[in-house]
Amino acid sequence: MVYKGHSKKGAALTELFLVSFPFYGALMAAGGQLTHDVGLTAARWQVLSTIARSDRPEPVANVARIMGLARQSVQRSADELERAGLITFGPNPHHKRAPLMHLTQTGRMAFDEITRKQVPWVNAIAKDLDADAIVAAVGLLRALREKLEQQVGERRIAEGRRMFDGSRGDSP
């Protein structure tokens, strides 16, 4: 669909953004079904998965950056995961106020159980899809995330400049 004023690429990207909203809702609903038996929400599973897949313990702020979420939302999920006995917070030698999150044995078992369910689920979805198209979509989403993060970062810099010196932030 071509929207007034959009280039062909701009219209296609707008359509992608619009399709991504219900896609994300469906993905979270499916995630909730996969995690229900373990007593997790899809949001907690995302945090648990990020911790489980990391090669070292991370503080909440790093996990939030990896996930592209606000630190506060990851903190809420991490606190719930700790209460459930799935992670613990331990000292961080680099930052006293940013404890490191560690997966507990119970957390590892929960992650492994969900993964056992996720593998056949995702394989069934992928069965009739083109692998090269999936790889291309991953590349596109990574490139879009990078562009959006760069744009948001530039705006934060400009906002910071305005706060600091009262300028409009539109000049270097």
Q: Is residue 119 part of a domain?
A: no
Q: Is residue 110 part of a domain?
A: no
pLDDT at 78: 97
> Do 92 and 134 share a structural domain?
no
pLDDT at 150: 87
Q: Is residue 35 part of a domain?
A: no
Range of the domain at 47: 41-105
Number of domains observed in the structure of the chain: 2
> Do 133 and 101 share a structural domain?
no
CATH number of the domain bearing residue 82: 1.10.10.10
pLDDT at 146: 87
Q: Is residue 7 part of a domain?
A: no
Q: Is residue 61 part of a domain?
A: yes
> Do 99 and 45 share a structural domain?
yes
> Do 146 and 98 share a structural domain?
no
Q: Is residue 68 part of a domain?
A: yes
pLDDT at 1: 60
Per-residue pLDDT 10s for the chain (172 aa) are: 666 899 999 999 999 999 999 999 999 999 999 999 999 999 999 999 999 999 999 999 999 988 888 899 999 999 999 999 999 999 999 888 999 999 999 999 999 999 999 999 999 999 999 999 999 999 999 999 889 888 887 665 555 444 444 444 443 3
> Do 98 and 52 share a structural domain?
yes
Full 3-state SS string of the chain: CCCCCCCHHHHHHHHHHHHHHHHHHHHHHHHHHHHHHHCCCHHHHHHHHHHHHCCCCEEHHHHHHHHCCCHHHHHHHHHHHHHCCCEEEECCCCCCCCCEEEECHHHHHHHHHHHHHHHHHHHHHHCCCCHHHHHHHHHHHHHHHHHHHHHHHHHHHHHHHHHHHCCCCCCC
pLDDT at 156: 58
pLDDT at 167: 42
